[in-house]
């Protein structure tokens, strides 16, 4: 009897947990493709590394982000004051005042750390450029005796 179901052409990729791994890259068809892939790996560091570094490095600080942080802190503080026995109205008033103080404080704190990270990255770039430009001269560790 003829087979009615078409056979799969490649192996199923995946784990028992259900995660499907990305398809592995195929081998280069010719020498030029191999060189191109090697050059891309050296220059970019790979697609995966670029994606993770972009994710791990937050962008410049914004007032909206600072407001969210301050809002979370003020709500937590207001709930704690209410739990500790303060009246709800007093807790809400104190939380609102804290929100007014926390928002600029969070923004300027984020700005400080962002600028510090930028300075550190710039310093690393300068040092890397100096290392690359500096010719390597190794003194002979074992000079020949005369």
Q: What's the pTM value of the predicted model, to 2 decimals? A: 0.53
pLDDT per residue as tens digits for the range 123-137: 999 998 888 887 666
pLDDT per residue as tens digits for the range 61-71: 999 999 999 99
The domain locations on the chain are 62-132
Measured at the CA of 116, the angle between CA 111 and CA 120, to 5 degrees, comes to 150
In angstroms, rounded to a whole number, what is the distance separating the alpha carbons of residues 100 and 71?
Answer: 9
pLDDT per residue as tens digits for the range 61-97: 999 999 999 999 999 999 999 999 999 999 999 999 9
20 and 14 Cβ atoms separated by less than 8 Å: yes
């Amino acid at each position: 009897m003829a087979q009615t179901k078409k056979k799969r052409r490649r192996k199923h990729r995946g784990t028992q947990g259900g995660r499907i791994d990305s398809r592995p890259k195929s081998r280069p068809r010719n020498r030029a493709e191999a060189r191109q892939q090697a050059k891309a790996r050296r220059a970019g560091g790979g697609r995966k590394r670029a994606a993770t570094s972009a994710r791990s490095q937050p962008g410049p600080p914004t007032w909206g982000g600072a407001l969210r942080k301050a809002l979370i802190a003020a709500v937590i503080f207001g709930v704690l004051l209410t739990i500790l026995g303060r009246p709800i109205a007093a807790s809400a008033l104190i939380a609102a005042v804290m929100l007014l103080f926390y928002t600029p404080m969070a923004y300027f704190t984020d700005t400080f750390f962002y600028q510090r990270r930028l300075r550190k990255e710039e310093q690393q770039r300068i040092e890397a450029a100096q290392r690359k430009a500096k010719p390597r001269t190794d003194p002979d560790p074992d000079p020949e005796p005369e």
